[in-house]
Amino acid sequence: MLELSLESVSYSYRRGHLAVSDVGLTLGTGVVGLLGPNGAGKSTLMRVLSTLARASTGRVLWCGEDIARKPDALRRELGYLPQDFGVYEALSAREFLAFLAAVKGLPARSVAGRVDACLEMVGLHDVADRRLGDYSGGMRQRVGIAQALLNDPRLLIVDEPTVGLDPEERARFRHLLAELAGQRLVILSTHIVSDIEASAGELAVMAGGRLRYHGAPETLIAAAAGHAWSWTIPSDRLADVRARFRISRAQRRAQGVEVRVVGERAPSADAMPAIPDLEDAYLWLLHRAGVEA
């Protein structure tokens, strides 16, 4: 059975900064969204899970094996797309993936077929021989996923994969991640709530290096009931309202600006109760934790 367990995992940098503090999680198959603001400790935790860093305290178990003691047991089944993924622009996607397959030690006789299969999975087979320098940002991210899939991993980790993508490419990427889950565990680390809404059935929220929530997105939304309001204000008040309240979104209307506010109580007598969504619930959770989004 596929299982990734984190037991009281903490990570401290040499100067004493505690980036991850006492995180405990048990994860199985499916897409898990790791959500949190920048600086929450998500990328550090992803480095620990991908064996690029070792936990200062606690341990990580992959199918019962301690990855600090036996990292190769995980590495053989790991696909990883880091936040900063670079490519060789002069190479084609096919050439680049063949090179990485050799680096990863795939048998030479199987490289061509595996490269083609991965290009097909990410929708790049028809442009596989085009220079990577001519690819869009979204296409390069799909190449990143393809390289992570070369060894047919059971654990796929992607760190902030949609940053910088346009809305169409972002939607395509979310759909791809959902399709790839199958019998895998896919961990999607992001600060973009809509990425989680579109693809993750399970949610973990980090802030200030700590795990603040783990469970179904719907459960977190239910917990925020009674703490979201819709309020229409004159446009010239928007800056002041942003400074005083937690705003999940603002939309221009004929009557002014409609803002969604989360907090303990209504921001004004003319604010109307609203049914919270995941963005509202996430901000409400950070508000309770005393953390800025």
For 268: left if phi > 0, alpha if psi spans -120 to 50, otherwise beta; the answer is beta
Structure tokens at 141: 């991210």
Q: What is the pLDDT of residue 151?
A: 92
Question: Alpha-carbon distance 60 to 75, whole Å?
Answer: 13
Q: What is the pLDDT of residue 182?
A: 80
23 confidence band (pLDDT: 50, 70, 90)? very high
For 182: left if phi > 0, alpha if psi spans -120 to 50, otherwise beta; the answer is left
pLDDT digits (tens, 9 = 90+) for 172-220: 888 888 888 888 999 999 988 988 888 899 999 999 999 999 999 999 9
Look up the pTM and report it.
0.89
Exposed (0-12), middle (13-18) or buried (19+): which is 43, by Cβ within 10 Å? buried
